[in-house]
Amino acid sequence: MVEPTTRVSDELLESYRAVSSATVLGRLLQRGYDKTYMKGVHSLAPGRRLVGRAVTLRYLPSRPDLAKRVATGAHGEGFNETPRWEALEKMGPGDVFVGDAMGLSMVSTGGDVVFSRILTKGAAGLVTDGGVRDGHKVTRYGYPVFAGGSTPTVGEPNILPYSVNEPIQCGGVLVWPGDVLLGDDSGVVVMPSQLAEELLEECVEHDEVEQALLEYTQEQKISPKSFYPFNDETMKIYEDWKARQGRQA
């Protein structure tokens, strides 16, 4: 098992709930992280915001000897100790189950009974580039669900859970255990855990500047084009906006 470099606190996760995923993506791009947006992964429960630490599970293509290993457990301990259950049992508040299903969007990584454990563990949600069996049932649990799709199929003839809390890919993005996943109706962005603290302040400021610009240009009925890229006039509007909020300019 690979431990995360930095454990992101619950308090820091909560601070990111108000931050736009697009803003985080932009800040990561500025630092050279150009593969952080998952492709082919979308929300099965529109309107739900996801922020959490990754607990990873890697699936592999099925093969008879692999199927036997998974069915008996790595040490012969039985089905109840196979990797998918291990991953789910590691989860707690603030954690997200992240399944690498090799982009097989219509192959099930689990269904409503299996993923009910995310609910009882009080975890933050589910992300996979595979499918979720009976996804319409899983979404009723109330947590965010991001996947390649919903499917009625069983996964095991095609893929099998294999390893827990190791670096994986999901939606074409490297996910390290403990990385922060941010999801909304636009998709999922992965932020390396060690960058979470240093990026927060500038992400918050960026979103506030854009809110200030939106309010100003709507009030004045003018185009925002002259305020991009952010410039002195942009920041003056922002400082005036902060003053109106009762904050120090």
Tens-place pLDDT, residues 155-166: 888 999 999 999
Shared domain for 178 and 237, answered yes or no, is no
Least confident of 7-11, 67-71, 232-236: 67-71
The verdict on 121 and 237 lying in the same domain is no
| pLDDT at 246 (0 to 100) | 81
Residue 4, domain member (yes or no):
no
> Among the three residues 191, 209, 227, which one is the final residue of a domain in this structure?
191
Report how far residue 216's alpha carbon sits from residue 78's, in angstroms, rounded to the nearest whole number: 63
Distances (CA, A) of 29 to 22, 32, 77, 191, 199: 10, 5, 45, 11, 12
The answer to whether 52 touches 95, Cβ cutoff 8 Å, is yes
Which DSSP helix (H) or strand (E) runs through 126? strand 125-128
- pLDDT tens sequence across 137-159: 999 999 999 999 999 988 888 99
Q: What burial letters (b/e) apply to 144-157, b meaning 16+ CB within 10 Å?
A: bbbbbbbbeeebee
**What's the token pair of residue 221?**
């009925």
For residues 186-207, give the mean pLDDT.
97
**Which pLDDT value is given to residue 156?**
80
Per-residue pLDDT, averaged over 26-38, amounts to: 97
pTM of the predicted structure, to 2 decimals: 0.91
Strand 95-100 to strand 159-164: parallel, antiparallel, or no bridges (unpaired)? unpaired
CB atoms within 10 A of CB 168: 23
At 16, which CATH number? Answer: 3.50.30.40
Q: Are strands 173-175 and 42-43 parallel, antiparallel or unpaired?
A: unpaired
Q: Is 84 inside a domain boundary? A: yes
Is the pLDDT at 75 greater than 60, yes or no? no
Report CA 24 to chain centroid distance, whole Å. 12
Please name the residues in contact with 220: beta carbons below 8 A apart, sequence gap of 6 or more: none
pLDDT in tens, 77-112: 444 568 999 999 999 999 999 999 999 999 999 999
Q: Where are the alpha helices (DSSP H) in the chain?
A: 10-15, 21-30, 64-72, 83-89, 112-120, 135-138, 196-220, 232-244
The answer to whether residues 93 and 174 belong to one domain is: yes
Where in the sequence is the domain holding 202, given as residue range(s)?
Answer: 198-244
Q: Average pLDDT for residues 32-59, to the nearest whole number?
A: 98
- 129 and 221: one domain? no
Q: Is the pLDDT of residue 211 over 70?
A: yes
Strands 50-61 and 95-100: parallel
Residues 225 and 167 placed together within one structural domain of the fold = no
Residue 70 has pLDDT above 80, yes or no: no
- 120 within domain boundaries: yes
